[in-house]
Amino acid sequence: MADSKIEIIMGRAGSGKTYRCLSAMAEKMKSAPLSNPLFIIVPEHETYRVERSLAEFMGEENGFGFVGAQVFGFRSLAMKANQSMGGNLPQSV
């Protein structure tokens, strides 16, 4: 994973942050579908919308689907990281 990197994109609402990320992810998955997994981190309430948008970016020729990418909310990313490290988060009621 020598080519792994984190890129932080910041800007005001409507400035094209999500579009830029999704188009770059779709391009990468189309050109190298079995490369390293791609992650996008968004606010928890936006995960469903971003997953749908990413599927649309993939286009009909790719079945409107994707395998090499994951959309995480901040909470779900923390849980995934904790699980991968063998941790056990306390369950809230």
User: Is 57 buried (19+), middle (13-18) or exposed (0-12) by CB count in 10 A?
Assistant: buried
Q: Is residue 6 part of a domain?
A: no
Q: Is residue 54 part of a domain?
A: yes
CATH of residue 33: 3.40.50.300
Encoded tokens for 23: 């188009």
Contact 31, 58 (CB under 8 A): no
Encoded tokens for 9: 């994109």
Q: What is the domain range of residue 49?
A: 17-84
DSSP 53-70: HHHHHH-GGGTT--SSEE
How do residues 63-84 score in pLDDT, each as one tens digit?
556 777 889 998 888 888 888 8
User: What's the pTM?
Assistant: 0.70
Overall domain count for the chain: 1
Query: Is the model's pLDDT at 89 over the cut of 70?
Result: no
Q: Is residue 93 part of a domain?
A: no
